[in-house]
Chain A
């Protein structure tokens, strides 16, 4: 019962956030309606044509009414038509979301085990050579912004060595080779940070009295790490990983645009550049859902890992 109430509250919060964001986006993009008409009809349209277009599309109504109208359509699944791509938004967005989910999923798949392994390895014996090495790697990769990382990797693997394709349009269908560079950029940008988090958490846990007790009762080092330390040490990294999901969403925009990958990020970018109002609106809604849902997942995972939280 308590869980249901909690879940209900979270979903209610999600809906409220979506409402607020949609209102703000609407306000930002549609308050100057004449600009919308210019975007749709082009720079050479006459004022008369623009006025006629605005009338036909219901833009003569007050802002609030227009917003409510859009909200009604959106809620009923009619997301409108993209003015830039000239296509139905739902049809446009779904394959793009799948493509971005693929990219982000692949990045997480590499990033999570890699950073946990690195973090544990360096956290178990703080100050060791491994620890120093991992820290150096982590600091180096985290301090390079992802757009610069994309340029560096392209310079090395595409222009220099010629091993990998330079763009990832997947024009000829799915290609694993084309996925390598974008995933590599996302992984390198986050792994260091995550490894550092895991390391700190691991060091803290390893200093706890119960670890000493386990050591004194004669448990093997692997038993201590995997049986006693890891579960507690994972609490922080799991939160961080969940917080990384929204971050990946924005990182994905940069990486997708750089590699011309046709995902949600490039779609949002083009929509914003071309003032494609309904498309920006739809993308914003999806982003809100992604952020809030990942937080929800983080809470659930947290509860699963820490029994102390379950009763609360």
Chain B
């Protein structure tokens, strides 16, 4: 009953009537098929205003400087940014049309409201009034049009070109409103606009040289005042910011190199306040340090040990199936990550993602793996080379070593080729057999769309299945996660049966901060908002 009352109190962001599908979601909620958070998430997609939770104690603006350990990567054009770390820098100065909070609920960003049509193919956005760029210009629909144009241009190198392939046309309606016309329904459009590659740039970005750090114009709460790749970056509070003033005066990002134990030493000595991330290897150390507070959370990030389906010997599905069947996902989690996470099922959708479709788990079957190999013409086993780069930690290699032992049981002899982290990214989508780390996405369908749709920029396995693509389109048109789940299950099964990868587990995420740090919310995508952080 309490839930029903809650729904009755909802309104849409633009004050108009609620979207037609909200009623259906409410019915699912009332019937208990949907939990409250899931209901709020999906209602938010459709432009429903979601009340903010009660706020804790908030400190007034101070003159404090926060020191954040983070790799300082080349930014150049933020729409091309392949690094979440880089986006965490420009997120202080650049804003997005929408914002996804740590609870995975879409909130208004530069757009104060959005309204999808009933068929989810036309989306009207209204910009927040009074937003000013740091150079004094007002934010206009022309800015937004400019961004969509460069994302979607045929020569665009941005991953946004494929992520928003459904957008056919941008239409400016008046000086504050614009419409996006889609070729097919996409229910999660508002959420996708908060992807790391979607910050809104000033309309003169390309004219000013197309290098953001050189001309760091933004609408955000901080201004970039220093930027040195591989060294440090400094952001300073904008006193003329349109929104609530941030508490910190400065944020100093410091690049301490790739070794996390160095980062922990810096935290222990009080030289820095926030670490970007620690790995399972530093967990015990951080727990024992009084100068460090451990933060830990669950996210849908993972390792994909994927095979390129168009390269020998992986062009034979029996070889890929054999690899998948011989792998012991639970053992990899247990031994390489000390069991801190959830076992996965080789289809890259996490059970805790809201659109997960339940599927009977695929068990390990070494005998069958052997038989398949023999059938594929490798009765004496096969030699494979797995390339990896420890891009997010040594545990990638630990996992690969367990896999190596698992596969040996089936006569698959794997040699590991370990590259330096930076080297791996120049071959990640080229090597026949590679271990790639994938960042969290709020929805399983987003990952599937990015990584497994035929011809998608980030499709590293070369998987191409028109039936899978069609199912993706269908799933994207269904708002109610309860109704979407069966379609998702079908997608997951199709992907798993194609055996393009071993995706062993969903590791937990850890980081450490100084006990003085307040308000640093771990975002599952690692999209940090520093304007709400302060030092006690």
Q: Which residue of A lies closest to B458 (CB)?
A: A44
Q: DSSP class of B's interface residues: helix, strand, loop or mixed?
A: loop
Give CA–CA (A262, B229) in the complex, Å. 13
> Could you mark each residue 31-47 of chain A with 1 if its beta carbon is under 8 Å from any beta carbon of chain B, else 0?
00001001100111110
Give CA–CA (A43, B423) in the complex, Å. 10
Q: Which residue of A lies closest to B266 (CB)?
A: A167
**Among B249-257, B370-378, B469-477, the stretch in contact with A:** B249-257
In the bound complex, residues from chain A placing their C-beta under 8 Å from that of B267 are 166
Q: Which residue of B lies closest to A34 (CB)?
A: B426
Chain B residues within 8 Å of A, Cβ to Cβ: 74, 80, 82, 157, 159, 228-232, 252, 254, 256-257, 259, 261-262, 264-269, 271-272, 285, 289, 291, 420-423, 425-426, 428-429, 457
- Indicate which residue in B256, B268, B422, B429 contacts A260 across the interface (CB closer than 8 Å): B256
Q: DSSP class of A's interface residues: helix, strand, loop or mixed?
A: loop
In the bound complex, residues from chain A placing their C-beta under 8 Å from that of B268 are 158-159, 162, 166
Chain A residues within 8 Å of B, Cβ to Cβ: 35, 38-39, 42-46, 49, 84-87, 151, 154, 158-159, 162, 164-167, 169, 171, 257-260, 262, 266, 270, 273-275
Q: Which residue of A lies closest to B292 (CB)?
A: A159
Q: Given A167-B256, A167-B262, A257-B259, does the pair A85, B271 have CB atoms closer than 8 Å?
A: no
Other contacts beyond A46-B157, A166-B267, A273-B423: 4, CB < 8 A: A165-B269, A273-B420, A273-B421, A273-B422
Q: Which residue of B lies closest to A35 (CB)?
A: B426
Give CA–CA (A164, B267) in the complex, Å. 12
Give CA–CA (A232, B422) in the complex, Å. 51
Q: List 7 A-B contacts (CB under 8 A).
A: A39-B426, A43-B426, A85-B229, A162-B269, A166-B268, A260-B262, A275-B423
Give CA–CA (A164, B452) in the complex, Å. 50
Q: In angstroms, how far is the closest chain A Cβ from the Cβ of B246?
A: 22
Q: Is there contact, CB below 8 Å, between B271 and A44? A: no
Q: Is there contact, CB below 8 Å, between A159 and B265? A: yes
Q: Is there contact, CB below 8 Å, between B269 and A158? A: yes
In the bound complex, residues from chain A placing their C-beta under 8 Å from that of B254 are 169, 171
Give CA–CA (A262, B262) in the complex, Å. 14
Q: In angstroms, how far is the closest chain A Cβ from the Cβ of B33?
A: 40
Q: Is there contact, CB below 8 Å, between B82 and A44? A: yes
Q: Is there contact, CB below 8 Å, between B271 and A165? A: yes
Q: Is there contact, CB below 8 Å, between A85 and B262? A: no
In the bound complex, residues from chain A placing their C-beta under 8 Å from that of B252 are 171
Q: Is there contact, CB below 8 Å, between A166 and B266? A: yes
Q: Is there contact, CB below 8 Å, between B157 and A45? A: yes
Give CA–CA (A38, B426) in the complex, Å. 6
Q: Is there contact, CB below 8 Å, between A159 and B285? A: yes
In the bound complex, residues from chain B placing their C-beta under 8 Å from that of A84 are 74, 229-230
- Indicate which residue in B261, B272, B421 contacts A151 across the interface (CB closer than 8 Å): B261
Q: Is there contact, CB below 8 Å, between B232 and A260? A: no
In the bound complex, residues from chain A placing their C-beta under 8 Å from that of B421 are 273
